[in-house]
Amino acid sequence: MSVELRQRIYEELDSLILVDPHTHINPHAPASETLADILGYHYYTELAHSAGMPKSEIEDPDAEPRERFGRVIGYLGPLRNTIQYSWFVDIARAFFDFSDDHITPDNWEQLYDQALEKMSQPNWPDEVLRISKLESVFLTNDFDDRLEGFDTNVYIPCLRTDELVFHLHKPEVRRRLEGATDTALTNLPALKDAIGALFDHFVSRNARACAISLPPDFAPTRVLDGRAETALENVLRTPEDCDQRDCRALSNFVFWTLTENCAEHRMPFDLMIGVNRGVYANGVFQGQDLYDSRVSLIQYAELFNAFPQVTFPISVLASVTNQELVSYAWIFPNVLTSGHWWYSNTSSFIERDLAARLEAVPGTKQIGYYSDMYKLEFGLPKFRMYKQVLAKVLAERFVIDQGWSEQQAVQLGSQVLRENVDRAFPKLG
Amino acid sequence: MSVELRQRIYEELDSLILVDPHTHINPHAPASETLADILGYHYYTELAHSAGMPKSEIEDPDAEPRERFGRVIGYLGPLRNTIQYSWFVDIARAFFDFSDDHITPDNWEQLYDQALEKMSQPNWPDEVLRISKLESVFLTNDFDDRLEGFDTNVYIPCLRTDELVFHLHKPEVRRRLEGATDTALTNLPALKDAIGALFDHFVSRNARACAISLPPDFAPTRVLDGRAETALENVLRTPEDCDQRDCRALSNFVFWTLTENCAEHRMPFDLMIGVNRGVYANGVFQGQDLYDSRVSLIQYAELFNAFPQVTFPISVLASVTNQELVSYAWIFPNVLTSGHWWYSNTSSFIERDLAARLEAVPGTKQIGYYSDMYKLEFGLPKFRMYKQVLAKVLAERFVIDQGWSEQQAVQLGSQVLRENVDRAFPKLG
Amino acid sequence: MSVELRQRIYEELDSLILVDPHTHINPHAPASETLADILGYHYYTELAHSAGMPKSEIEDPDAEPRERFGRVIGYLGPLRNTIQYSWFVDIARAFFDFSDDHITPDNWEQLYDQALEKMSQPNWPDEVLRISKLESVFLTNDFDDRLEGFDTNVYIPCLRTDELVFHLHKPEVRRRLEGATDTALTNLPALKDAIGALFDHFVSRNARACAISLPPDFAPTRVLDGRAETALENVLRTPEDCDQRDCRALSNFVFWTLTENCAEHRMPFDLMIGVNRGVYANGVFQGQDLYDSRVSLIQYAELFNAFPQVTFPISVLASVTNQELVSYAWIFPNVLTSGHWWYSNTSSFIERDLAARLEAVPGTKQIGYYSDMYKLEFGLPKFRMYKQVLAKVLAERFVIDQGWSEQQAVQLGSQVLRENVDRAFPKLG
């Protein structure tokens, strides 16, 4: 009974046209050029490396895409149990008519060629969006991105601010900020102006969110202008060596200033909480980051209290933080639950985290899912995975456990999948 | 199969007459007077506020109950997915013949009037208890409560001690303690005497538990009398400004003294571990508290070792602490698992926490559930929710997974629901 | 459907001949002599004590085995819900033709006698292994074990190193190390030589792993030889009083040296992370240890980076650390997930932890289970419990949720149950 019920709910949810509220798509090259782009995604390179593939082989600068792809295929055997491998098979089936059980050293070449032909068609990105039932996707833009040359109604800009908050002590970052805003960063007012100018630019280009990823030990606090001024002076005087306390003061000041600008421009601030960068120093590209799950949202209490007018869609890296997220979203009007991030973006973690959210956070305050993808082809399998888990939770915990009608369940699913994205990220400017 | 099995087990469990071992019922006004009392419960006001209802509208001192009720109804739409909303619908159906799908701006007035009529009947509290199959409920009494004017066999006193432990540095609290015990708190022996007098009074009035809620950073330790004496002197000398170390010494001393009295009077000490008060400073009444889930029961190791003769029914606020609770109850004879508290009191957290307890903690050491309610009408839907989850876990993890008979499963359920409450909280004095 | 499917998968998995990669078996007395050895396992004594049995009665030096057994039986009633009790019933049924529902004060004597007769047969250990479908078991050997007088192909040595790392400041431990290696521990090079000699000896006796259990606050780091030399000198000079910093330096030095030897001898290093010893000081034998779940694998980042050539099968004590384990094993090639340890070795924790591993860690990097047993009879019920959960997860999350064939599911189960043990712990020397 339950399996058929899930399937019916899934099919209703799968008929929706969605907006993907967080991706790393490059709007100038949104889809893959070859299947090597697919297996070049860090989920595959890091898992293949973890299962025994040498980094030198993965990141060989001399290898052509076809060769790189074929090499990784040889290491997929140990990954067949992973949900990430299932995304790849889903892509092969949905887009490239693949029909075998597995992608192996014996059958990959035909698949590669078939994909190459489709990917070479000029309208391929639009075709992927159409098949994936995605109407638009949010980007992750460097603060100095010109945001030109693409349709900002389909590829919606989002101001990514990690570098501003954590690396402003680096001359190169300051130079880029000066260039982007035509401002000399000689003192604190100039820094404030520069940040304000970024927001003006992004809003004028249809940006609908500001975003940042944060390490587990970050605990934002308001820093007085005087303290920030001193920190900035010290950084400017000795650019080669930022005192840790100055760095922290500057980080906090920039973070707070960004939030003030979010308030002023009514822009939501996506907080992605919990990542430690570079933990596995010799890992493959983008396969080096991990975390310390000992983080608490109480570190953000001052922020949530200080900015009641700013919407904070929150993602947490570890499932053990999910209950705190549920509780904070349950009483703070400005805290929203947002997606299932990275190491929590696998079926069993989604299932338990989602169940906890659906039963205790107002239905209007949950952003169900984002793909986090770098290439458009991943939207389909990732959203499918989520919709399958969502259908399971709705079937088991609402229809069966609580006697909801299927229609009510589908409505709730639709709300977290689509309506809340429109609600949380309205058009600005 | 499983659904029918669950249903049969549920019906058996639902036929039991229960004792609710922790509530905030006012024995002088145990039931609601209007439905505004129901929607005035912080679960609704904080969720409605979180979903967009202004605090000023919720806490408008000029609004009549009927008006207040109608206003919150307008904000219930976004809460329909929550388990808390389902409690409200359950109440409307079980007590007031409500039969629509939802309570809306269009149908609430009839419900309100119907409820008003029933609630106005003089025997309404008894009627609620009868329908809810509750024989008695434990209270949460201020330390200076006279405990008079009610039937202590139905409304069982419980000495709540948060103020004594954490606010004794406040003159007002000391004044109340002096008044309640007719003791001048001039030195440490007097303080000990006063605390002893509270226990004598409570035991004489049929109290069966001492209780406290504790912040995540509390780690009780024995303080020498000399250190406590100094702390008390300092507090008495400069009442306006308690040094943090003195406050902590005094808290620890009072906590330890309370536990000594529990030992002497054979009274269980309910520890509710993990809450941070006032995190959302501008939240609605009782909707401001949250937590830091980074807490460990190892903070209580000294206590559990020092008082083997005291029963400690333990509640933890966050589900991530549940495994520690299971493990500590598994080897410490004096540690009991107790209920599913507050932010963990929703179906999916109960399900996973309960499953872990039932498979590893002696069956005699688990207090299944308490309602934590402020008005009697909430006992029914909250216990129902628990009994449904209990039936599910018993059906799936004992009958199906382990081949237990239904009768054995019902016996285990009955043990944690009822027998263990009698066992853990015997009549004293 | 799901129940029959699980059963079919279970039967396939149950037909495999396994290797148990971590036990505490004494190879000179591997099986039980009487049923008192079974109920003498700390899981029963600590649970019976927790449920009310006095320690003095459990550890009565004057009681004969039969009497001790009979006494514990009297306290089993409250434990019938526990998974540990179910292991006991499983043992009684599988080995001793027991067929009642429960073992009680009324029927234990016949069972005891029946067991005594079987256990007295000279080939009983081999018979237990045969019935349990275990081909060999890994031991936990003291560093000064001679490793003689048993078949190291069935009872595979494993070098346990807790004492070396955490108690080398004790003269007795140093004396034993000196005796085992014929080395005078007068300086650092001698200590290194002694540790090297242990590895040579263990490898020559077919050892296939080094192992250690670690407290939650341990964070291994490389210590310079000079610092370690100073620490060793101080310890040698004042053996009665080890300065905490010296102790820590010495611990880190020994730990690092052990890991270097693992690298040199290609020996895996089992890390069992998270236990606090002696938390319940008055608990029964082996029933005193608990934990603080606030531990992170980031404490091991330096180690994992420094020794890419060493395989680290990792066990975590608390389920809340499981997601970190999954994530670290997902990107670090040298990190493997290993079994379900102690307080996490119950069905519901295994189910959630296993589901998370199977969907995100390469299939070749998961060591499904070890029994941790002290007597051979426990291998059967413990592995059965695991295989049942494994069959459930494979049925529900792979066959039903993802459309895998039963055969594919069984292959994955077989991989984590058996193949990966051979892969992770190859024969050395």
Give Cα C422 to chain centroid, integer Å: 17
Q: Is A278 on the interface with C (CB under 8 A)?
A: no
Q: Is C352 on the interface with A (CB under 8 A)?
A: yes
| Res A240: pLDDT | 76
Q: Is C296 on the interface with A (CB under 8 A)?
A: yes
Q: What is the mean pLDDT of residues C198-222?
A: 98
* pLDDT tens digits for range B365-385: 999 999 999 999 999 999 999
* Chain C residue at shortest CA distance from B295: C294
Residue C33 reports pLDDT greater than 80: yes
| Res C1: pLDDT | 61
Measured between CA atoms, how close is A65 to chain C, in angstroms? 23
Rounded Cα distance between C86 and C22, Å, is 21
| Res B242: pLDDT | 82
* pLDDT tens digits for range A303-324: 999 999 999 999 999 999 999 9
User: What confidence tier does A254 reach under pLDDT thresholds 50, 70, 90?
Assistant: very high
Q: How many CB atoms lie within 10 A of CB C107?
A: 15
Q: Do A51 and C321 touch (CB under 8 A)?
A: no
Q: Is C301 on the interface with A (CB under 8 A)?
A: yes
**Which of A78, A280, A344 is nearest residue C331 as measured by Cβ atoms?**
A280
Measured between CA atoms, how close is B380 to chain C, in angstroms? 27
**Which of A1, A323, A362 is nearest residue B51 as measured by Cβ atoms?**
A362
Residue C39 reports pLDDT greater than 70: yes
* Residue from A309, A335, A401, A414 to probe the interface with B (highest B Cβ count within 10 Å): A401
Rounded Cα distance between B15 and A148, Å, is 68
**Which of B304, B305, B323 is nearest residue C320 as measured by Cβ atoms?**
B323
Q: Which residues partner with A335 through β-bridges?
A: A312
- Report yes or no: B314 and B297 within 8 Å, Cβ to Cβ: yes
| Res C238: pLDDT | 84
ipTM of the shown complex: 0.97
Q: Is B361 on the interface with C (CB under 8 A)?
A: yes
Rounded Cα distance between C305 and C245, Å, is 24
Residues 6+ apart with CB under 8 A from B175: none
Taking all residues of chain C, what is their mean pLDDT, rounded to a whole number? 97
| Res B2: pLDDT | 87
3-state secondary structure chain B: CHHHHHHHHHHHHHCCCEEECCCCCCCCCCCCCCHHHHHCCHHHHHHHHHCCCCHHHHCCCCCCHHHHHHHHHCCCHHHCCCHHHHHHHHHHHHHHCCCCCCCCCCCHHHHHHHHHHHHCCCCHHHHHHHHHCEEEEECCECCCCCCCCCCCCCEECEEECHHHHHCCCCHHHHHHHHHHHCCCCCCHHHHHHHHHHHHHHHHHCCCCEEEEEECCCCCCCCCCHHHHHHHHHHHHHCCCCCCHHHHHHHHHHHHHHHHHHHHHHCCCEEEEECEECCCCCCCCCCCCCEECCCCCHHHHHHHHHHCCCCCEEEEECCHHHHHHHHHHHHHCCCEEEECCCHHHCCHHHHHHHHHHHHCCCCHHHEECCCCCCCCHHHHHHHHHHHHHHHHHHHHHHHHHHHCCCHHHHHHHHHHHHHHHHHHHCCCCC
| Res B1: pLDDT | 61
**∠A80-A369-B291 over CA atoms, to 5°?**
105
Measured between CA atoms, how close is C387 to chain A, in angstroms? 17
Q: Do B356 and C346 touch (CB under 8 A)?
A: yes
Pairing between strand B269-273 and B209-214? parallel
Q: What is the pTM of this model?
A: 0.98
Backbone angles phi, psi at B352, to 5 degrees: -75, -35
Residue A216, CA distances (Å) to A326, A343, B317, C97 in order:
18, 14, 21, 55
Q: Do B362 and C79 touch (CB under 8 A)?
A: yes
* Chain A residue at shortest CA distance from C2: A3
* Residue from A50, A75, A319, A400 to probe the interface with C (highest C Cβ count within 10 Å): A50
| Res A293: pLDDT | 97
* Chain A residue at shortest CA distance from B90: A402
Q: Which residues partner with B338 through β-bridges?
A: B367
Q: Is B179 on the interface with C (CB under 8 A)?
A: no
Within 8 A of A388 by CB-CB distance, chain C residues are 401
Backbone angles phi, psi at C264, to 5 degrees: -65, -40
- The residue among B266, B287, B146, B291 whose CA lies nearest residue B208 is B266
Rounded Cα distance between C78 and B361, Å, is 9
Map residue C390 onto helix, strand or coil. helix
Q: Do C333 and A282 touch (CB under 8 A)?
A: no
Rounded Cα distance between B184 and B191, Å, is 8
Residues 6+ apart with CB under 8 A from B273: B213, B214, B216, B218, B295, B297, B300, B314, B315, B316, B317, B321
| Res C18: pLDDT | 98
Q: Do B50 and A362 touch (CB under 8 A)?
A: yes
Rounded Cα distance between A320 and A83, Å, is 20
Residue C240 reports pLDDT greater than 80: no
Within 8 A of B400 by CB-CB distance, chain C residues are 3
Rounded Cα distance between C159 and C147, Å, is 10
Q: Please report, as a single letter, which amino acid is at residue B100.
A: D
Q: Is A52 on the interface with C (CB under 8 A)?
A: yes
| Res A2: pLDDT | 87
Number of A/B CB contacts below 8 angstroms equals 106
Rounded Cα distance between B270 and B311, Å, is 8
Query: What does pLDDT average to in each consecutive run of 10 residues of chain B (429 residues)?
Result: 92 98 98 97 97 96 95 96 98 97 96 98 97 98 98 98 96 97 96 98 98 98 97 88 91 98 98 98 97 98 98 98 98 98 98 98 98 98 98 98 98 98 93
Token pair 């659906």: residue: A358
Q: In sequence order, what E strands does A97-185 have?
A: 134-138, 155-156, 158-160
Taking the CA atoms of residue C152, residue C413, residue A320 and residue A417 in that order, the dihedral angle to the nearest 10 degrees is 170
Residues 6+ apart with CB under 8 A from C318: B323, B324, C274, C291, C293, C295, C343, C344
| Res C77: pLDDT | 96
Measured between CA atoms, how close is A319 to chain B, in angstroms? 10
User: What confidence tier does C135 reach under pLDDT thresholds 50, 70, 90?
Assistant: very high
| Res B70: pLDDT | 96
* pLDDT tens digits for range A326-338: 999 999 999 999 9
| Res A241: pLDDT | 79
- Both ends of chain A: CA-CA distance in Å? 49
**Which of A320, A365, A398 is nearest residue B50 as measured by Cβ atoms?**
A365
For B326, half-sphere exposure in the C-beta direction (CA atoms, 13 angstrom radius) is 28
Taking all residues of chain A, what is their mean pLDDT, rounded to a whole number? 97
**Which of C80, C281, C348 is nearest residue B305 as measured by Cβ atoms?**
C281
Kindly state the tokens that stand for C199. Answer: 């590895």
- Report yes or no: C16 and C366 within 8 Å, Cβ to Cβ: no
